Amino acid sequence: MNTIVLKLSNAQLDQLKTHYATKSVPNKNPYTLFVAKKNGVTITGYTSGKVMFQGPNAQSEAAKWDKAQASIKPNDNKNSPQKTSAVATHLPKDFSKKSIIGSDEVGNGSYFGPLVVCAVYAAKENLSYLKKIGVKDSKMLTDKEIRQLAPKIAETVPFQKLVVTPEKYNEIQPKYNAVRMKVALHNQAIYLLQQKIAPTKAEGILIDQFTSEANYKKYLRQEKNPVTTDLHFITKGEQYHLAVAAASILCRASFLEELEKASKNLGFLLPSGAGNKSDQVAAKILQQGGINLLAKYAKLHFANTKKAEKIAGF
């Protein structure tokens, strides 16, 4: 099965959602904006801005939207030749079988809830067990599966998790743009994990790519303890090593837990993502306690804040 992934703008995502509205199918994944099926192709739009096209006609369907950005991901059929995107070719040979530190983040595209970054050291002797218990891309798992897997992962591999609450996020956001903040968090998680596993050294570090390598390293120079060696960057990193997949699961489990706690504190459900539902809930919080209360639960620099203020009559 071919899998094509595009990184699109919010305007393009809205276009896709409207275009495929008549072909939409139900979904309960909080990180999914929409799922549709057309001509044997499953189209999934994520809050991260990525759109995945899966099926035998995935390439032609994806090309309608952004042919230049289409990249073929690993084929799920183990018996057929695997195709990878060009960006994967720089990874060392047999990279997926090596002892690697992988890092990922969750919550960056959600108005409510924290930003969570996690680094995992998956030694080669643990890879078969991680695969056996079902570790894979967290977006392909249900919330229930995520919560069942996270404790098993935590018991098996060393990890370092950093949770930035919305309150803390709003405090540092004016000084740190979104990319610089994530660079700082990824680097810190990796650095602290390296200290945990010392004197053991990973055979490489794989970061689920959120900016160019040059941009990452530019911001890295501003960090106190920059990790600069054996770094590799690739989008959809969980496709290329289980360390990133495990990190993604631990991140999302923590994000879900924090969002659930916040919902209990407020007495109503806080949605993930940054859609219209978030605007409505934010307006409700504003009416209860103003911007100071909202700042405890939401990332205020999102456009949702202005929309919520209009709804609330502020």
The structural domain count of the chain equals: 3
Q: Is 105 annotated as a binding residue?
A: yes
Q: pLDDT tens, 128-138?
A: 999 999 998 77
50/165: higher pLDDT: 165
pLDDT higher than 60, residue 87: no
Q: pLDDT tens, 178-227?
A: 889 999 999 999 999 999 999 999 999 999 988 888 899 999 999 999 99
Residue 87 belongs to some domain of the structure: no
Q: Is 143 annotated as a binding residue?
A: no
My answer on whether 179 and 228 are in the same domain is yes
The answer to whether residues 188 and 103 touch, using CB atoms and an 8 Å cutoff, is no
- Is the N-terminal amide bond of 199 cis, ω within 30° of 0? yes
The answer to whether residues 216 and 110 touch, using CB atoms and an 8 Å cutoff, is no
Mean predicted lDDT score pLDDT of the chain: 86
Burial class of residue 237 (count of CB atoms within 10 Å of its CB; 0-12, 13-18, 19+): buried
Residue 231 belongs to some domain of the structure: yes
Residue 226 belongs to some domain of the structure: yes
* All residues at 6 or more sequence positions from 181 whose CB lies less than 8 Å from its CB, including other chains: 115, 164, 169, 172, 173
pLDDT higher than 90, residue 45: no
My answer on whether 182 and 109 are in the same domain is yes
Residue 150 belongs to some domain of the structure: yes
Residue 159 belongs to some domain of the structure: yes
Task: Report d(CA 246, CA 47) in Å as an integer.
Answer: 20
- Distance from the first to the final alpha carbon of the chain: 50
Q: Is 94 annotated as a binding residue?
A: no
My answer on whether 187 and 306 are in the same domain is no
Domain that holds residue 297: 274-312
Summarize the confidence of residues 155-162 as an average pLDDT: 97
My answer on whether 47 and 160 are in the same domain is no
Summarize the confidence of residues 283-301 as an average pLDDT: 95
